[in-house]
Amino acid sequence: MNILYLIMFFILGTVFGSFFNVLAIRIPQNESIIRPGSHCEKCGHKLKWYELIPILSFIFQKGKCTNCKTQLSLLYPFSEIALGLLFMISYYSFGFSYELMISIILSSVMILVTVSDLTYLMIPDRFIFIPIILILIIKLVFLGTKAFLLSIFSGFLCFLIMYLIMKFGEFIFKKECLGGADVKLMILSGVTLEPFLSLLVIIIASFIALPVSLLLLFKHKENIIPFGPFLVIGILIIFFLKLDTMSIVEFLLGRR
């Protein structure tokens, strides 16, 4: 494995992570991603080039605006480091292949969804449907029409399952339990994975979200927990493990 490529993918991921922070903060507010340039949200200080270096700028500035000394959100370095690691893992897992392209798209979605959902408790449709379209195009080009059509069917099926789960939750608890964006994210899961694996995504996401939700409820009395980031994490876990339905069935039959 070429160490240089791993380093390059990590650096590339941090750069994209910094850019996706801007998208995730501005697009939900219907703000331009071009103007004004990067600036402090508190005092409007226009950031200089050396204040825009992923990760390092946050460290050197001690996590504060150089002008007004306002504490910067930890989401910024988290997104940069996380996407850098995900890009590096993507290359390590798939090399130069169509799976690498899908993995990079999914990793990018995780940052967009996480920052947007944690900041505004909403996920713009474009953060979900543009990646879906890109993945479908990749599958059509590299795997052919059959895989393309199966992915569309799988996406629709997963959407339907999640929609029914949402409605069932509303019926039982008499309130909204899942957001519409969470349901749409299952289209992304279905397009990327097989329907059965998408059910595992829901289980994994719920398993990870449960302790986090209990902690937030205990510490901050929060009763609204963004579920979108956990769904994307579940998709990434299944994708990186390279699981398929048949291997899981054979494993379960073998245990019997």
Statement: residue 43 has pLDDT above 90: no
More confident residue, 30 or 16: 16
Same domain, residue pair 138 and 254? yes
pLDDT digits (tens, 9 = 90+) for 143-181: 999 999 999 999 999 999 999 988 888 878 777 777 788
Same domain, residue pair 49 and 160? no
The residue-averaged pLDDT of 131-141 equals: 96
- Quote the pLDDT of residue 180: 84
Give the residue numbers spanning the domain of 84. 1-96
Same domain, residue pair 60 and 164? no
Statement: residue 33 has pLDDT above 90: no
- Quote the pLDDT of residue 250: 66
Position 120 in a domain: no
Number of separate domains in the chain: 2
Q: Which residues contact 26 (CB under 8 A, 6 or more apart)?
A: 32, 33
Statement: residue 222 has pLDDT above 70: no
Position 113 in a domain: no
- Quote the pLDDT of residue 140: 96
pLDDT bin (cut points 50, 70, 90) of residue 66 is confident
Same domain, residue pair 91 and 143? no
- Quote the pLDDT of residue 125: 93
Q: Which residues contact 103 (CB under 8 A, 6 or more apart)?
A: 86, 90, 93, 94, 236, 239, 240
Same domain, residue pair 146 and 53? no
Position 107 in a domain: no
Same domain, residue pair 70 and 161? no
Position 141 in a domain: yes
Gap between the Cα atoms of 39 and 45, Å rounded: 5
Torsional sign, CA 82, 128, 228, 36: positive
Same domain, residue pair 248 and 130? yes
Position 110 in a domain: no
Position 114 in a domain: no
- Quote the pLDDT of residue 1: 59
User: Which 3 state secondary structure label does DSSP give 64?
Assistant: strand
pLDDT bin (cut points 50, 70, 90) of residue 121 is confident
Same domain, residue pair 77 and 131? no
Gap between the Cα atoms of 108 and 80, Å rounded: 11
Last residue of a domain, one of 44, 76, 96: 96
pLDDT digits (tens, 9 = 90+) for 225-239: 788 889 989 999 999
> Percent of the chain having pLDDT more than 90?
47
Position 134 in a domain: yes
- Quote the pLDDT of residue 212: 77
Same domain, residue pair 187 and 240? yes
User: Which 3 state secondary structure label does DSSP give 74?
Assistant: coil
CB 231 within 8 A of CB 184: no
User: Which 3 state secondary structure label does DSSP give 6?
Assistant: helix
Position 214 in a domain: yes
Same domain, residue pair 90 and 138? no
Last residue of a domain, one of 55, 78, 96: 96
Average pLDDT in the chain: 86
